[in-house]
Structure 1
Amino acid sequence: MVNFTLDQLYLWINAFLWPLFRVMGLFMTAPLFSESSISLHVKIGAAILITLVIAPGLPMPDIPTGSWAALWLAAQQVLIGFALGFIMRIAFAVVILAGEFIGFQMGLSFASFFDPGTGAQTAVVSRILNIVAMLCFLAVDGHLVMLHAFMRTFEVLPIAIGSLDINGWGVILEWSGELFLSGMLLALPLIIILLTMNLAFGILNRTAQQITIFAVGFPITLMTGLVVLMIVIPQTAPFLMQLFESGYETMMRFIQALSTR
């Protein structure tokens, strides 16, 4: 019969509990893992499995489980994991923003539907580009690379009571600031083509005023946008790969800036 003391039980709980909080924080916001279409039981099971893999090799702080210090440490780990997942979520927000730009130029800004993944109304073009981005993310094992980068954060910022450098949050703000520019760059080819078409329609309307430009222009703009979208989407893979790589690098820069050690 195997016997163990209450102190040993507390030690095992601590070794498992603290990394679990950081993993659960990641699963709240990270792409794929935070999708509402994935069962909560699957998410919890995956979080427990990942924690069981990484916990044995991590140094644990000697903190009583029921103390205020333990509560602060738990909140700290959830916040760190939440921020790491949010960094990668921003990469997908770039794609959604590009879809909003394109849909507006195509005249599809009114065409939206409920997205079960985000729980909000999403433009049709944004949804298409988001699916393409997710497929690229899975095709290059982006979820595994993200988890590998996440596990490395325990080496740079071990689980311990201590203050977090405020400069770390500045890294997220800097990364968020690139959202608008990256979204514009992704949508730029279609925006230029559709703006040129609208300019041509404006000139045509001035020279041939008997033509009802709204009746003619909308279907032409829509069809042109769809054709260009079909041509451009296969070429977006290198841009998306670069975007994901930037996300992984930002995760590590965030942790390094956050650490005061």
Structure 2
Amino acid sequence: MFTLQVQAFLYIMARITSFIVVVPGFSHKSVPGTVKVFLSLILSFLVYTRSSEIQVYEELLLFMLAVVREVIIGLTMGFAAKLIFSAVEMAGQFIDFQVGYSMGAVYDPASGATSSYYGRLFYWMSIMVFFMLNLHHTMLLSLMDSFQVALPGQVGFSGISLEGILFLFSLSFKIAFSIAAPMLVVLLVTDIVMGLINRSVPQINVFMLGMPLKSLLGMVLFLFLASSIMNHAGKTLFMMSEYVTKAVEMFR
């Protein structure tokens, strides 16, 4: 009986640990591994105490398949939440490309990838809004509620749909464009005007004039639109629990 209880606890911990490993805010390299482990243990214990009957197996193969399923569910939920933050960062990268800052992208040791200036700025703005609005509480509640939607200890992936995965990815691009659109439109108009000037007065070095002008214009636009960008990011992050739930429902 004790072995079966441990098995049920491992199902829960596998999902929670895999979720925390990838979800923004908790998966960052600045968060000590000890904190992640203790958080996983505490949340797993809380879920275990409120869980009803959990399917357990005596066969090792079925047990391993059930653990793999829980890991995949946790990773899917974590990546669904991460897509929202990535969408906000992508909006900044669109602006960087339009301004010309993408040429100066640098390696970010925290994420293990190259990042641009506005991309990193937008990402940390979204993290700040995330904790300011206590959305980390909502996200953890969604994680705990997922055990009522997709019961732990099951074997099989019959509920996974390609449509749900494509929805999450298309949603991230939609969010990115909606956040970056105001600045992109102004910068695009600036490019058109600079092109017309180049055709009208070929003696002017538009490239040398355009780079500092677009950099200055980008900073001014950001200062004017920072509050609206944060409001938009906050509204998007508020819907994160809904997106995480959609990801869990694929395993129902």
- The normalised TM-score by structure 1 is 0.90
Residue in 2 that maps onto 1:222: 215
In the alignment, which of 55, 58, 77 is matched to residue 61 of structure 1? 55
Shift of 1:17: 1.3
**C-alpha distance in structure 2 between counterparts of 1:142 and 1:46, whole Å:** 17
Q: Pick which of 128-137 and 230-239 moved more.
A: 230-239
**C-alpha distance in structure 1 between counterparts of 2:107 and 2:226, whole Å:** 23
Shift of 1:168: 4.5
CA contact 2:69–2:156 (8 Å) conserved in 1: no
Shift of 1:45: 1.3
CA contact 2:73–2:251 (8 Å) conserved in 1: no
**C-alpha distance in structure 2 between counterparts of 1:125 and 1:169, whole Å:** 32
Shift of 1:188: 0.8
**C-alpha distance in structure 1 between counterparts of 2:46 and 2:12, whole Å:** 10
CA contact 2:88–2:122 (8 Å) conserved in 1: yes
Residue in 2 that maps onto 1:32: 25
Residue in 1 that maps onto 2:204: 211
Residue in 1 that maps onto 2:167: 174
Runs of 4+ more than 4 Å apart = none
Deviations 1:197-246 (A, max 9, x none): 11111122222222222222211111011110122122122321232233
1:194-205 mapped onto 2 (5 Å cutoff): 194-205=187-198
Instruction: Mark the structure with the bigger radius of gyration.
Output: 1
Shift of 1:12: 3.4
CA contact 2:135–2:238 (8 Å) conserved in 1: no
Change (3 A) 1:169 1:210: closer
Q: Letter of the aligned partner of 1:25 in structure 2? A: S
Residue in 1 that maps onto 2:67: 74
In the alignment, which of 118, 123, 128 is matched to residue 111 of structure 2? 118
CA contact 2:16–2:44 (8 Å) conserved in 1: yes
> Sequence identity, in percent?
22
Residue in 1 that maps onto 2:232: 239
CA contact 1:168–1:256 (8 Å) conserved in 2: no
**C-alpha distance in structure 2 between counterparts of 1:209 and 1:159, whole Å:** 68
The reply on whether 1:138 has 2:131 as its aligned counterpart is: yes
Q: Pick which of 36-45 and 188-197 moved more.
A: 36-45
**C-alpha distance in structure 1 between counterparts of 2:81 and 2:89, whole Å:** 13
The reply on whether 1:99 has 2:89 as its aligned counterpart is: no
Shift of 1:174: 0.9
**C-alpha distance in structure 2 between counterparts of 1:251 and 1:212, whole Å:** 50
Residue in 2 that maps onto 1:3: none
Shift of 1:169: 5.0
CA contact 1:23–1:47 (8 Å) conserved in 2: yes
Residue in 2 that maps onto 1:152: 145
CA contact 2:94–2:180 (8 Å) conserved in 1: yes
Residue in 2 that maps onto 1:4: none
SS of alignment partner, residue 114 of structure 1 = strand
SS of alignment partner, residue 103 of structure 2 = coil
CA contact 1:33–1:43 (8 Å) conserved in 2: yes
Q: Letter of the aligned partner of 2:56 in structure 1? A: D
CA contact 1:133–1:240 (8 Å) conserved in 2: yes
Shift of 1:148: 0.3
For this pair of structures, how many residues does the alignment match?
A: 251
Q: Is there any run of 5+ residues in structure 1 with no aligned partner, and where? A: 1-6
